Chains A and B, each alone.
Chain A
């Protein structure tokens, strides 16, 4: 087989589209552990919330795989990779040879050891099966506790709340969304959730999950001594790279599968992309695991092209999140919480609590390296341009950015011309 892809998420889709940019014909085999064609993983919160039906989950039109000459082997787990023989073995006992292999196995939920966690009614919320379980569960329960006040936790909480469940979200750190957002943005988002009726408790976590003698879930003991009655617990603390298979196969692994600037792993013909890979970060320049949707696609796309024989460097991952809380949109891109002791960063922030609008820009030297927008997000892409293209920002332009008026005419003339109106004389 010319191309074998392990995993059927967005990195896999990126890879297929990347391969097809270069190689229109050779067969591609995708081996996915889940049962459905690639779906929009973040959509599971929309599904759980009842905003969309299962028919809207698919990432690509039904004919995509056929048109792209892709064979799907779903519900199948790869159990071993032999990088010498260039084969993979599946749980069905099948051994498949590959010329180019992409490992895009994504992440698995991180579950801390909480006493009482083993047993029924403790769930994760990272895949379609979890969502389906929670949908059927939601019909019969009254209360839920979500452990984790990050993006997944909040979306899980919001979605269950939309199903009529009383929700309490627990966040160990002093505020929600501590990774992707800063305090102001988090407080606007938290405020919006509280306004709607979700309970968000920061600075506490679950100490123990209480069960009765029959093992039925009763509630959660908190670190501050409180006890919350609940029917289900959703653990949504985060995901960790799913690199077990790669590690066992002898591929070099650090926090994720190590890849070079062409997304190549440490064995010939083997690539990795997405949440499982540790790849170059655009802003920091070092290799990191950045489990972000867009990066997964881009890495897959880059890997796919290289698998098909192109010579394309991965430009680097850029952390970015867009998420709405009951109609309050929030966006964060790049570096949003610069280290306070580093004087090279300069932060400007404009907060309007009444309008629920917030704009924070993080500059380093004369570059924009990150931003947060809450509420008024319409110009987000224009800010992204400055981060992504690392354009120098003169004083006047900076004033305009800070005032919330970024535009394409601030771009350097050559770059503007090349981007928007290439190939014109003079």
Chain B
């Protein structure tokens, strides 16, 4: 399956991937509205996390592991592996906010929703014709969406 692969050699730490992510997952699909209003009002937050250490940085998000720890840890059935697409699918309605997945995922790819008792996790921008927004927005090709 195609996954998003971050390249720390060329990640420039601009955080544009985060902005793209929240835009793609916003109601308005408009960066300005999403960033200014939806973040505050509905807790819209990115699935990506940019780490910086010295000169190096990297933007990570869910790896959609073949055998994900989060699915093993999920008590609600809110996370499961789609056998057809291979994606680790999150069903928001089922999530009870127990944070088991957040604890179990050793990649730190799951975050708490700032307002609701739900998690925030990459869905590879499912349904988005151009593919994952973060990859499209990266100005330095430090995120690649491909089969490996």
On A, residues with C-beta under 8 Å from B are 14, 17, 20, 40-43, 46, 51-52, 56, 58-61, 67, 293-294, 297-298, 301, 320, 322-324, 329, 331, 333, 377-382, 384-385, 388-389, 406-410, 416, 419-424
Some 26 contacts from A to B, beta carbons below 8 A apart, are A51-B96, A56-B93, A58-B77, A61-B77, A294-B72, A297-B71, A298-B72, A320-B103, A322-B98, A331-B99, A378-B102, A380-B102, A381-B102, A381-B106, A382-B106, A385-B107, A408-B60, A408-B108, A409-B52, A409-B53, A409-B57, A410-B53, A419-B63, A420-B60, A423-B148, A424-B5
Contact for A382 among B5, B57, B108, CB less than 8 A: B108
Q: Are A294 and B100 in contact (CB under 8 A)?
A: yes
Q: Which residues of B contact A (CB under 8 A)?
A: 5-8, 51-53, 56-58, 60, 63, 67, 69, 71-77, 80-81, 83, 93-94, 96-100, 102-112, 148
A301 and B107: CB pair below 8 A? no
A377 to B, closest residue via Cβ: B99
Q: In the complex, are the beta carbons of A421 and B109 less than 8 A apart?
A: no
5 closest A-B pairs by beta carbon, nearest first, are A385-B106, A297-B72, A59-B77, A409-B53, A382-B108
Known A329-B99, A423-B148: A384·B104 in contact at CB below 8 Å:
yes
Beyond A56-B96, A385-B108, list 11 extra A-B contacts (CB 8 Å): A40-B77, A41-B75, A56-B76, A59-B77, A61-B77, A380-B102, A381-B104, A381-B108, A382-B106, A421-B6, A422-B5
Given contacts A293-B73, A301-B67, A380 and B56 within 8 Å (CB-CB): no
A381-B58 in contact given A322-B98, A409-B8, A409-B53 (Cβ < 8 Å): no
**Contact (A381, B81) CB under 8 Å given A416-B8, A420-B60:** no
A56 contacts B94, CB within 8 Å? yes
Complex: chain B residue closest to A330, CB-CB? B99
Residues of chain B contacted by A388 (CB below 8 angstroms): 106
A46 to B67, CA, bound (A): 27
Is A408 a contact of B77 with CB atoms below 8 Å? no
Cβ–Cβ contact B107 & A419, under 8 A: yes
Contact A331 B75 (CB under 8 A): no
Of A14, A419, A420, the contact of B72 (CB 8 Å cutoff): A14
Cβ contacts under 8 Å, B109 to chain A: 381
For residue B66, give the distance in angstroms from its CB to the closest CB of chain A. Answer: 9
Q: Which residues of A contact B52 (CB under 8 A)?
A: 409
Residue of A nearest to B56 (CB): A409
* Chain B residues near A382 (CB-CB < 8 A): 106, 108
> Cα distance A323–B100 when bound, in Å?
8
Residues of B within 8 A of A20 (CB): 83
B83 CB contacts on chain A under 8 angstroms: 20, 67
Q: A322-B102, A422-B148 are in contact. Are A294 and B69 (CB under 8 A)?
A: yes
State A409–B57 Cα separation when bound (angstroms). 8
Query: Contacts A41-B75, A294-B73 known; A331 to B60 CB distance under 8 Å?
Result: no
Chain B residue at smallest Cβ distance from A406: B108
In the complex the two chains form, what is the Cα distance from A416 to B8 in whole Å? 10
Bound-state CA distance A384–B52 (Å) is 19
B7 touches A421 (CB 8 A): yes
Contacts of B96 in A (CB 8 A): 43, 46, 51-52, 56
Most buried by A among B7, B72, B93: B72
Which residues of chain A are near B69, meaning CB under 8 Å? 294
CA distance A421 to B6 in the complex (A): 6
State the CA gap A81–B33 with chains docked (Å): 63
B143 to chain A, nearest CB (A): 10
In the complex, which residues of chain A have a beta carbon less than 8 angstroms from the beta carbon of B7? 421, 424
B17 to chain A, nearest CB (A): 14
**Are A301 and B72 in contact (CB-based, < 8 A)?**
yes
Q: Nearest residue in B to A300 (C-beta to C-beta)? A: B72
Give, as a whole number of angstroms, the nearest-CB distance from B111 to chain A: 6
Which one of B60, B75, B94, B106 lies within 8 Å of A384 (CB-CB)? B106
Most buried by A among B5, B6, B76: B76
| B6 and A42 contacting across the interface, CB-CB below 8 Å | no
Do A294 and B104 contact each other (CB < 8 Å), given the known contacts A407-B51, A409-B58? yes
**Which residues of chain A are near B103, meaning CB under 8 Å?**
320, 322, 331, 333, 377, 380-381, 384
A423 to chain B: which residues have CB within 8 Å?
A: 148
CA distance A297 to B6 in the complex (A): 29
Least CB separation from B54: chain A residue: A409
Say whether B98 contacts A323, CB under 8 Å.
yes
Considering residues B5, B74, B106, which has the most beta carbons from chain A within 10 angstroms of its beta carbon? B106
Given A322-B98, A324-B98: A43 and B75 interface contact (C-beta under 8 Å): yes
